[in-house]
Every structure is written in C-alpha cells, then in structure tokens.
Amino acid sequence: MPVVAVMAAFLVGGVMLLMLGANPIEGYGALLDGAFGDADALADTALKSMPLLLVGIGICIAFRASVINIGGEGQMIAGAIVSTLVALGLPDVHRVLLVPLVLLGGLVGGAIWGAIPGALKAYSGVNEILSTIMLNIVAVQLMNFLLRDMIMDPYEKDGGRIPQTQRLSDNSDLPLLPGDTRLHIGVLVALAMAVLAWVLLWRTSLGFRLRAVGHNSAAARYAGMPVKRTIVAALTFSGAMCGLAGAILVFGSESHRFVTDGSSVGFTGSAGFNGIVTALFGGLHPLWTIPSSFFFGGLLFGANAMQRAVQVPAALIVALNGLVVVFVVSSDRLRRAVGESLGRERKPSAGGDVEARS
C-alpha cells in the first residue's frame, strides 16, 4: 500500500529529525499546520500542488502505456516558452481569448517536447529515458538563451541583466478565484485535466490502445493496433500536461514574468520529478492523483514552516519524497511476493504495468 510506504518514509524522516536534534512531533506538527492550517495555507498548498498534479497526470498517461517519461522538467520549460511567446506576440488580444491562448501555447509546447522522444522511441528505437533526459538539458539551455537574448526584458538588457522577460501582458494574467486568496484559475484547469485524462484513459478507444500497448505491446500489435503511433500519442499527451503546468507557473506567478536562475529546478521546483512521486502514490490513476498531489504539495509547502519551527532545512522533504518512491515501488513487489507465496490471485497493479515494458 502506498500509504504504508509513506508512513515508513516518514518514520525514517522522524529518525533523521531526531538525529539532527529536532523534535519530530514538533517538526511534523509545524509542517502540517503550515500546509493545511488555515485558508491561506490551503490556498498556497493548492497552488504548490498544481504542477505536481499536471505532471502526475502526464506520468499516469505515459506509464499506463509503459513509457517512462523523465522529461517533465523539459516539457514544462517548453510549455512555458511557447506560452510566453504567445503572450509577447499577442499582448493586446482580449483576456477572454488570450488566457485560453497562452494555456493552449503551454499544451502545444509540452506536446512538441513530448512528441520528439515519442517519435524517436517508436521509429528509431531510442530509449525514451535517455532522450527525455537529453531534451531536458536542451530545454534548459534554450530557456537560458531566450531569456538572456531574444525575449529578455529590454530594461534588463541595459540594466541589471536579470534573465527574465518583461512583465507579460495584463490580459494574460490568470484570473483569481473568488475569495481572498492567491488561488487562480490554473488550479481548476489542472483539476479539469485530471477528469479529462480519466476519460481519455478509460472511456476512449485511444485510451484503450494506450493501456493495451502498456500491458502487452506484442499482443496489441497482433490485435492490429498501431503500436508506434500509440507510443507517440502517449508521450505527446504526457508532454502536453507538463507543458500546461509550465504555462500556468508563468502566468499564475506573482511577478507575471518568465524568470530563470540558469537551472531547471529554479523554474520548475523539480515538479517534473516530484510529479512522478505524485502519480505513483496515486496508483497511476489521474483522479487519485488529485488527493496525492494535494498531499505532496502540502508537504513541499509545509516544509518551509517546518524549517522555521525546528531549523531543519526543507530539503528533508525532497529526500523523503525519494524514499517514498523507493518504498512504493519495492513495497508493491513485496506485497505481491507475499501474496504469491500464499497462493492468492495476482491482481494487476500500478507497478505491474510499469514492469511489463519491453
């Protein structure tokens, strides 16, 4: 059970807190309070969860088709780049049109960055893990180049030389939700995408093909399914979700600019990787990924409160996320090994789908 894996990870985390001279109960208490304590905390947690949810949805789609997408970071950046170009190119379009357009730009940018490794895998046999890693590097450098050159804030070009765009058009700001918080429409978009992804995977023929290819690509081929096109589709949809997350990060940000510190983590906050954790914890199911992302978003956001309360760096939560992944993938196998030895029927599960890759 993923829940057991998370508890095990936090048990280890508690021991680590003790070894660092902090009270684990106080630390975790501050974390939970900081993440879920009041309306503002919940709103910030929801904002922190948004990229995790979208990347997680993308991971669900890819992993269901037995495609391992490690390129979330690059796809987020690609989405941010295309959406920023849209906003810079059409600053005067009315916001009713411009907001959907920039979000569409994010989808398209991510989709392109996902389709490339998809096509390379399907038609040239290039391992998608490798190509997505390399495309992450390309995307980071492309972002650094564009933000220091072609789309750099003209003011920064002469002055501080901070690699960022100008303040993007007011018309492209994501509308805030009612209520006195920083919540914006991007969170609703992410929730809608989770539902759409569920529809895609379980209510359309493409979704059926995706899961069939993921389960047994040879059988899918004998059944006459276009396996190669399906692999490309899986990575394209997966990339599109990540790209949308990148666009929402830019247009939902406080500064309303696209800024780089030279690394991908600086822009994405490692959501491209943490989204994998989220999706695994959600059992590779888009709808279960919603609460999962809210939980991990809360951990990542609450970590700052923990840092203030017990002086243990927020990086602890990143380390614990890693442990959660390791525990989830191994406990799944452990559970099944126990089940098999007791002669129980094997049930298909999240881990099994991933393993079935050829």
Partner 1 sequence: MTDFFTMASLVFVVGSGIRLATPFLLAGLGETIGQRSGVLNLGVDGVMLLGAFGAYWTILETRSPVTGVLVGLAVGLVMGIVYGVVTVTLRAEQGVSGIGIFLFGLGMSDLLFQKKVGTPLPIRGFADWHVPVLSDIPKVGEMFFQHSVLVYLAFLLVPVVAFLLNRTTFGLNVRAVGENPAAADSLGVSVARVRYTTILLANGLAGLAGAVLAIELGIFQQNLTNGQGFIAIALVYFGAWRPVGVMGGALLFGMVSATVLQWKTLGLVSGATSSLTAMAPAVLTIVALVVISRTVGQPAALTRPFDRGR
CB of 134 to partner 1, least distance (A): 4
CB of 95 to partner 1, least distance (A): 31
Q: CA 351 → CA 119, 277, 292, 307, 342, distances in Å?
A: 25, 13, 17, 34, 20
**Cβ distance to partner 1 smaller for residue 87 or 325:** 325
End-to-end CA distance of the chain: 26
CB of 243 to partner 1, least distance (A): 19
CB of 280 to partner 1, least distance (A): 7
Length of the chain: 358
Q: Which amino acid is at 284?
A: L
Q: CA 321 → CA 10, 155, 314, distances in Å?
A: 9, 40, 12
**Cβ distance to partner 1 smaller for residue 210 or 277:** 277
CB of 326 to partner 1, least distance (A): 4
Q: What is the dihedral of CA 251, 257, 261, 264, to 10 degrees?
A: 20
319-358: which residues touch partner 1 (CB under 8 A)? 319-326, 329-330, 332-334, 337, 351, 354-355, 357
| Contact mark string toward partner 1, 135..174, x via CB under 8 A | xxxx--xx-xx--xx--x----------------------
Residue 259 touches partner 1, criterion: CB under 8 A: no
Closest by CA to 75, choosing from 321, 251, 249, 261, is 249
Q: How does DSSP classify residue 176? A: B
Distance between CA atoms of 254 and 63, rounded to whole angstroms? 33
309 Cβ neighbours under 8 A, 6+ residues apart: 26, 27, 29, 30, 34
Residues in the interface with partner 1 (CB under 8 A) total: 56
Residue 8 touches partner 1, criterion: CB under 8 A: no
Q: What b/e readout covers 45-64, taking b as 16+ CB neighbours within 10 angstroms? A: bbbbbbbbbbbbbbbbbbbb
Residue choice 43, 87, 220, 276 for contact with partner 1 (CB under 8 A): 276
Q: CA 305 → CA 41, 72, 90, 301, distances in Å?
A: 10, 27, 40, 8
**Cβ distance to partner 1 smaller for residue 54 or 107:** 54
**Cβ distance to partner 1 smaller for residue 168 or 324:** 324
Residue 204 touches partner 1, criterion: CB under 8 A: no
Residues lying near partner 1 in the complex (CB under 8 A) are found at 20, 68, 70, 120, 124-127, 129-131, 133-138, 141-142, 144-145, 148-149, 152, 263, 265, 270, 273-274, 276-277, 280, 312-313, 315-326, 329-330, 332-334, 337, 351, 354-355, 357
